[in-house]
């Protein structure tokens, strides 16, 4: 029979997870704020679409640099995750709002967005670490909500365009900074969870710089990480060309309807990306029944199949193309929280934060390459360019094989996080 204290602890964990998920969404709103202020920023900085693209790239590059720096120095495990998260939110909010300062030119704006990316390295991976610290050894369902909210955040700029919202561009930036500050306050109030290893800044037992790379010697962690890398080759490249995939569908629907009532490209893009948020949540629920490795493999196989088949669909089969895009959007990110759950289970507790930021940093570095390759191929090859993404899911599935057979099938042989004393490692 469950005692009153156990019920109280369970309620506290659920509340904590909800606060971390909310704070993650509030903090990562900084990531997408320029997309909601694109026209005003481009006019203010006197740049074209290519220049704005590099402004967005600055955030990605800053995130990659930040994650790799966290991993190489071990800072992600030298201080409390909630402390790093809160400080990163505050600093990121300041850098984001600075774009609206009078006299800011393009070079300074690029530097500010790079700084936002650096701060996001202390928000996104550390949010995942906090989830693990609050739920213990089976974080897949909670991580599903976390990544699901991030996915909805990714879709928000498309929703704003579809709604025709005409907020002043400065207001968009200030609003996202204010949201990040709220996220910082919530996490600072919440603190670290009961399964957190005590941080040891400067202590003899603290992780040494560069020690994080030792986790790649662990076969199970390596399988999960390399599966994640294959997934990342596809994910952001697909999102980046999604409006292009939606354009002919919207045009054909408008033609059939005489120009009235057809969904816009922005609305279709929002809906397809948002389907991925639902996929993350449902994937977390399914993982309780069949395990994270199987959910990740199923999502990878589904999205990889769409990479292969979508270019072969007849152009006039609009309903089939729409269904395929929604299925693709559902699968393409549903595996992401499962890879994080697997990696958090297989990483040594004292290197958990560093392992997660290293995995994220390398994964996002891969996305830069796949986006550049696909964006160059699409104008020349059309939808056949989507075949470029096929190797990602294939290699990811190959890497996952050790976790799908034998004793590792259900995610065993990892580091136990059943109770706080075991977290000290």
Rounded to whole angstroms, the Cα distance separating 207 from 202 reads: 9
Determine the pLDDT at residue 202. 55
Residues written for the chain:
425
Return d(Cα 154, Cα 172) in angstroms, integer.
15
Give 10-residue mean pLDDT values along the chain (425 residues). 66 88 88 77 84 83 91 84 94 94 91 95 90 80 85 73 71 88 94 73 57 87 96 92 89 77 82 92 91 96 97 92 96 94 88 87 90 86 93 96 69 44 32
- Crossing angle for the helix pair 336-346 and 292-309, to the nearest 10 degrees: 140
Q: Which residue has the tokens 């989830």?
A: 131
Residue appearing with tokens 């009532």: 261
d(CA 257, CA 117): 43
DSSP 327-342: HHHHHHTTTHHHHHHH
pLDDT at position 391 = 96
Instruction: Determine the Cα–Cα distance for residues 152 and 128; give it in Å rounded to an integer.
Output: 17
User: Cα–Cα distance between 97 and 33 in angstroms, integer?
Assistant: 10
Q: How many CA atoms lie within 13 A of 102 on its CB side?
A: 0
The alpha-carbon radius of gyration of the chain (Å, integer) is 21
* Neighbour tally for 390: CB within 10 Å: 17
pLDDT score at 165: 61
Measured over the CA atoms of residue 369, residue 116, residue 202 and residue 220, the dihedral's sign is negative
How many Å apart are CA 343 and CA 341, to the nearest integer?
6
pLDDT of residue 314: 92
Tokens standing for residue 130: 């906090």
Helix axes 38-45, 4-36, angle to 10 degrees: 40
184 is written with which tokens? 């910082």
| Cα atoms found within 13 Å of the Cα of residue 68, Cβ hemisphere only | 11
Structure letter (DSSP) for residue 164? T
What is the structure's pLDDT at 397? 97
| CB-based contacts of 184, cutoff 8 Å, min separation 6 | 23, 27, 85, 86, 87, 89, 90, 93
Q: Whose structure tokens read 């729409």?
A: 322
Q: Measured between alpha carbons, how far is 327 from 321 in angstroms, rounded to an integer? A: 10
Residue 194: the pLDDT is 79
Burial of 157 (0-12, 13-18, 19+ CB in 10 A): buried
Q: Would you state the pLDDT for residue 29?
A: 84
Classify domain 11-193+210-417 by CATH architecture.
Up-down Bundle (1.20)
Other beta carbons less than 10 A from residue 69's beta carbon: 15
- The pLDDT of residue 297 is 97
Q: Where do the domains of the chain lie?
A: 11-193+210-417
For residue 250, which of 259, 261, 263 has the smallest C-alpha distance?
263
Picking from 296, 270, 274, the residue whose alpha carbon sits closest to that of residue 283 is 296
Contact (Cβ atoms closer than 8 angstroms) between residue 149 and residue 361 = no
Q: Rounded to whole angstroms, what are the CA distances from 303 to 331, 396, 404?
A: 5, 11, 18
The tally of CA atoms less than 13 A away on the side-chain side of residue 43 is 7
Q: Are 115 and 396 in contact (CB under 8 A)?
A: no
């Amino acid at each position: 029979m469950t005692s009153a204290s156990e019920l109280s602890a369970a309620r506290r964990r659920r509340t904590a997870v909800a606060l971390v998920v909310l704070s993650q969404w509030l903090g990562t709103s900084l990531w997408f704020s320029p997309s909601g202020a694109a026209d005003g920023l481009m006019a203010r900085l006197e740049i074209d679409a290519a220049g704005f693209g590099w402004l967005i790239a600055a955030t990605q590059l800053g995130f990659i640099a930040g994650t790799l720096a966290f991993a190489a120095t071990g800072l992600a495990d030298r201080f409390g995750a909630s402390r790093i998260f809160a400080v990163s939110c505050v600093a990121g909010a300041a850098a984001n709002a600075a774009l609206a300062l009078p006299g800011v030119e393009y070079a300074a704006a690029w530097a500010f967005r790079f700084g936002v990316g650096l701060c996001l390295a202390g928000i996104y991976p550390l949010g995942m670490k906090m989830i693990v610290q609050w739920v213990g050894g089976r974080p897949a369902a909670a991580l599903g909500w976390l990544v699901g909210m991030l996915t909805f955040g990714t879709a928000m700029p498309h929703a704003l365009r579809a709604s025709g919202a005409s907020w002043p561009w400065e207001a968009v930036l200030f609003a996202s900074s204010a949201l990040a500050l709220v996220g910082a306050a919530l996490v600072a109030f919440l603190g670290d969870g009961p399964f957190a290893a005590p941080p040891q800044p400067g202590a003899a037992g603290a992780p040494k710089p560069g020690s994080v790379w030792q986790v790649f010697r662990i076969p199970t962690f390596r399988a999960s990480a390399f599966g994640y890398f294959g997934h990342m080759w596809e994910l952001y490249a697909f999102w980046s060309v999604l409006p292009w995939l939606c354009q002919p569908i919207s045009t054909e629907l408008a033609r059939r309807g005489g120009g009235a009532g057809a969904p816009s490209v922005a609305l279709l893009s929002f809906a397809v990306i948002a389907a991925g948020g639902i996929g993350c949540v449902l994937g977390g629920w399914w993982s309780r029944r069949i395990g994270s490795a199987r959910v990740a493999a199923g999502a990878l196989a589904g999205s990889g199949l769409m990479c292969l088949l979508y270019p072969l669909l007849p152009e006039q089969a609009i309903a089939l193309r729409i269904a395929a895009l929604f299925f693709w959007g559902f699968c393409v990110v549903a595996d992401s929280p499962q890879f994080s759950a697997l990696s958090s289970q297989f990483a040594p507790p004292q290197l958990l934060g560093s392992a997660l930021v290293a995995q994220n940093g390398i994964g996002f570095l891969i996305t830069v390459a796949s986006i550049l390759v696909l964006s160059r191929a699409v104008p020349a090859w059309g939808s056949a360019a989507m075949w470029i993404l096929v190797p990602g899911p294939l290699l990811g599935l190959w890497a996952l094989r050790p976790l799908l057979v034998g004793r590792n099938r259900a995610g065993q042989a990892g580091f136990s996080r059943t109770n706080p004393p075991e977290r000290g490692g």
